[in-house]
């Protein structure tokens, strides 16, 4: 099989296609011992040897899709060199996988992992919209004015968010549904209207719910769940 270098790296479960292009641009990728810088490089999965940071990577034909209930205190990264706890430490599979998107260190909840670069790209590409549902626990006064501001869009530092679905669950809990993926977006949205976030948990991506999955554990998605996630994607 012949694949472009970014798709090949993603199919090895190393990272997404966009991240793979960054590795190529920085000269971290070798093909048959030679450093490459061209994204158009095509790999023969049966003949070529590909290395990242001088480590041989292996092409995987089996695709794996996992759901983790991420605990607080874990960062979302595939490699950690400063001794911090990483979400990949919670995944124990023979096939290497990478996280789809991110949850910040202090956020809990639904985080997907895969070795399917195409699937990851579909869920994270800026031109696609997929809803993500969060539960916010706060000690702040929740007013109609604050809720309306969150619904219509707020400035989170040079960027005005799209319309969001916001509802009150309890006196100290909100449900917020967004279709974007800006860095720490829900926390910044809440801060912009004076809502202090005590706990943030993502409970749903598209139609996929976290359900009763225990904190710190994961499970494999079934075929129907994967197909349903693909159907949730909307083009801008």
Catalytic residue positions, numbered = 104
Beta-strand relationship, 197-205 and 107-114 = parallel
Separation of CA 65 from chain center: 12
Query: How far is the C-alpha of 20 from the C-alpha of 174, rounded, in Å?
Result: 37
Tokens of 100: 């789809």
Residues 50, 56: contact at Cβ < 8 Å? yes
* Contacts by 224-227, CB closer than 8 A, 24 or more apart: 225/65, 226/65, 226/119
Per-residue b or e along 60-78, where b marks 16 or more CB atoms closer than 10 Å to that residue's CB: beebbbbbbbbbeebbbeb
**What backbone torsions phi and psi does residue 150 show, to the nearest 5 degrees?**
-65, -35
Helices (H) and strands (E) in the chain, counts: 6, 17
Query: How far is the C-alpha of 107 from the C-alpha of 74, rounded, in Å?
Result: 9
Tracing tokens 């996280």 back to the chain, one arrives at: 99
């Amino acid at each position: 099989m012949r694949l472009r270098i970014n798709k090949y790296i993603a199919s090895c479960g190393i990272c997404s296609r966009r991240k793979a292009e960054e590795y190529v641009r920085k000269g971290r990728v070798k093909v048959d011992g030679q450093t490459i810088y061209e994204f158009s490089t095509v790999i023969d999965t049966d003949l070529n040897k590909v290395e990242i940071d001088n480590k041989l990577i292996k092409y995987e034909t089996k695709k794996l899709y996992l759901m983790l209930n991420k605990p607080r205190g874990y960062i979302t990264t595939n490699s950690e060199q400063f001794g911090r706890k990483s979400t990949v430490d919670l995944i124990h599979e023979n096939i290497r996988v990478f996280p789809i998107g991110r949850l910040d260190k202090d956020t809990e909840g639904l985080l997907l992992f895969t070795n399917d670069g195409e699937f990851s790209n579909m869920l994270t590409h800026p031109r696609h919209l997929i809803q993500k549902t969060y539960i916010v626990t706060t000690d702040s006064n929740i007013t109609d004015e604050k809720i309306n501001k969150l619904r219509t869009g707020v400035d989170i530092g040079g960027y005005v968010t799209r319309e969001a679905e916001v509802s009150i669950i309890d006196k100290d809990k909100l449900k917020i549904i967004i279709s974007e993926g800006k860095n720490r977006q829900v926390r910044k949205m809440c801060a912009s209207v004076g809502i202090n976030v005590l706990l943030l948990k993502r409970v749903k991506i598209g139609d996929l719910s976290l359900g009763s999955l225990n904190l710190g554990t994961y499970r494999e998605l079934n075929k129907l769940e994967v197909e349903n996630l693909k159907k949730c994607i909307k083009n801008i």
